[in-house]
Chain A
């Protein structure tokens, strides 16, 4: 990386973050680090529990090979520190003096019990912004309840909405609870930072994963608030007439039957390939229009087209769907996606991680970054950024830290411990 690159401005380069976060907050501290903040991951001696989470490089369950740890700790420095010891707590307070932000995800009251709660740390550094992420928040009857991502996703109302009736609701993959909460804590921290820019005042940020999920769902609560009706999961027909999931030659696509509103254009395409069968006959085009109108009417007038009308044509609907699905099986997702874009039809492919890595659009946009892991002798492709700040670009400068990798940098060079003291601290289980 050239000198010019390393000196590029970052949005948060003037901020230091002490990172005690577990899975519920670590996406947030990653975002802060990737925007240029000096994020110091503080791990227990011997390393963080997250290092035991897979997947692992080559499925080798080694503490320095956790892809989970790698992914969520890009750009950070790492030190070890035992907060259960009085020495550790004092050292931590010295670090707090130098820090702007602290993020933690311990059960409510734990940091207080160590003498490291917000009230304690505020006296050490009045400008500190301390942020806590927990399953249910710092207050309320559930505050001491145990939570994992699935509990957040369920109690926040997202899980109920996905999947097929008659089967359990779908747990959304990819740790949506942790991502939503991790994002909200960053927003809260940055609002506090803005306020501090103007007033010099620090403060405390309290994020509940349940609430973050509740705010990451579209309309389940308002649906009920409007008419006391429960929004339920609808399987393949996510919005009938507008969004369904259909199999095709090499996977699945999402669109309305025959593309939805612009079905005539798609029917022409099918016809040009001899795949339209009898669909151009009026008895089928009539029903197709009802299928689409039903959704469109809801959009425009909010009146529900009488659903019994569709129920009068089960054979026609079955025939339409059969011909449509036969056509889809002759085309790949890419072919359908490209052609439908040209026709102005809403159709999108359902992608896997492989599809994304192979997507020429994402590659050309440099959405993937090569990050070197010298100890492993390898370079891996990481994802990101979620945003492009043209003046202060997001960047992955370095891989996640090794255990205690920056102990010397922080303890000796910055906090001025001697080498002998560092050894004593290590032997005493403090670092």
Chain B
């Protein structure tokens, strides 16, 4: 994919998203050509700027690989929002922009005079999008939260893993990487379409816990209707058998295999060479397989343990059975042929990190695919562009604001 067209060129976003969930959304808009101006301040640094992972020998606020991946193609302007004059400057910027984002606790933007009711006076068709943890209203709306906890509180942990073990869930701040940035992106795009059609903007709220709950499938409906509490089932599925991760040759190497119907079962038996035991009555029908699932898993693992996960996946897939390597970071970046063919990882050169990899755009559009073009901005690197060019400040005025730590 070379020079992709940039479909969102012309949209300007004043981006107060910080840390994780929000920036991953505004990043997509930047990749597709929107001018995303990340509003930051030395007085209140985006926490993800200082976070590992770092390349050996590097550190500091520009060199984090996670921050880089999350903010490619964005601009950065520093503005110390604790100062009243900064808020007036923010308003001037918003007056010439299309969207304002934030994922602060509720009322931070209101307290800065940048609530929707105020912004609408400056720009009637403004779209404002905010990501409060528990929503703007309600008994818990003042509660703080964070990705891993929000994921746990959403019900996803409860649905994951062995039911007799502590529900440790995904092991990552999944709500920050999965549901929340996506719902934010979708809501904002829908609002932009609506504005194209009607000329109207609006306020959008992405309550992080509710957005994450929406990724739990039928768990809530099953309890509401049937009184049944869905729970983690190890790696099994009520719809399929076999359905699990099987240990393979190598250090902590696994491959999943999933068989959903009789046709796939017969194909599976062929792949493993139709050993004696597949004819056993314990495994002949889907009901009997489910009843003997633990024994079945053990027998399958005797086969997989002699093979690498690559061999298991390829043999199964070529035989028409769904299977996949449980991939780690090295698999994803170095070994996976499909991700390479799909150009999932883009190589960028970063002044402090050096050559590194970032995720590509999350979908392939045939005419306007967008393109990942630049590494994440160094702190404040676009101050001249934003303040002198966009806002027309003189050099003297900008110098004063820098000295007074308003542009800071």
Q: Which of B61-90 contact A (CB under 8 A)?
A: 64-66, 68-69
Contact with B along A214-242 (1 / 0, CB 8 A): 11111111111111111111111011000
Chain B residues contacting A222 (CB-CB under 8 Å) are 53, 65-66, 68-69, 356-357
The A interface is mostly helix, strand or loop, or mixed, namely mixed
Known interface pairs A173-B159, A388-B207. Does A350 touch B167 (Cβ–Cβ under 8 Å)?
yes
Contact with B along A321-356 (1 / 0, CB 8 A): 000000000000000000001001011111111111
Q: Which of A24-79 contact B (CB under 8 A)?
A: 31, 35, 53-55, 57-59, 67-68, 70-71
Chain B residues contacting A108 (CB-CB under 8 Å) are none
Q: Would A353 and B187 count as touching, CB distance under 8 A? A: no
Q: Would B202 and A216 count as touching, CB distance under 8 A? A: no
Known interface pairs A11-B191, A194-B196, A302-B54. Does A183 touch B179 (Cβ–Cβ under 8 Å)?
yes
Contact with B along A134-160 (1 / 0, CB 8 A): 001111111101111011101111111
Would you give the shortest CB distance from A72 to chain B, in whole angstroms?
8
B345 at the interface (CB under 8 A from A): yes
Q: Flag the segment in B36-44, B102-110, B325-333, B398-406 that touches A.
A: B325-333
Known interface pairs A53-B239, A146-B321, A226-B54. Does A352 touch B327 (Cβ–Cβ under 8 Å)?
no
Q: Which of B121-142 contact A (CB under 8 A)?
A: 134-135, 137-142
Q: Would B192 and A194 count as touching, CB distance under 8 A? A: yes
Would you give the shortest CB distance from A55 to chain B, in whole angstroms?
5
Q: Flag the segment in A86-94, A196-204, A279-287 that touches B.
A: A196-204
Q: Would A71 and B218 count as touching, CB distance under 8 A? A: yes
Chain A residues contacting B144 (CB-CB under 8 Å) are 341, 344, 346
Chain B residues contacting A157 (CB-CB under 8 Å) are 327-329, 331-332
Contact with A along B177-219 (1 / 0, CB 8 A): 1110011111101111110111011111111001101111111
What 5 A-B pairs have minimum CB-CB distances, sorted nearest first?
A: A173-B159, A391-B202, A224-B329, A348-B149, A188-B363
Would you give the shortest CB distance from B209 to chain A, in whole angstroms?
8
Which range holds the interface residue count of chain A? Answer: 35 or more
Q: Would B333 and A346 count as touching, CB distance under 8 A? A: no
B359 at the interface (CB under 8 A from A): yes
Q: Flag the segment in A312-320, A357-365, A405-413 that touches B.
A: A357-365
Residue in A closest to B169 when the chains form the complex, CB atoms: A162
Our pick among B68, B191, B230 for the contact of A353 (Cβ within 8 Å) is B230
B295 at the interface (CB under 8 A from A): no
A415 at the interface (CB under 8 A from B): no
Q: Provide the bound-state CA to CA distance between A400 and B393, in Å.
A: 56
Q: Provide the bound-state CA to CA distance between A193 and B140, in Å.
A: 36
Taking each of B166, B173, B321, which has the highest tally of chain A beta carbons within 10 Å of its own beta carbon? B166
Q: Would A162 and B170 count as touching, CB distance under 8 A? A: yes
Taking each of A169, A215, A346, which has the highest tally of chain B beta carbons within 10 Å of its own beta carbon? A215
Residue in A closest to B166 when the chains form the complex, CB atoms: A245
Contact with B along A248-291 (1 / 0, CB 8 A): 00001011000000000000000000000000000000000000
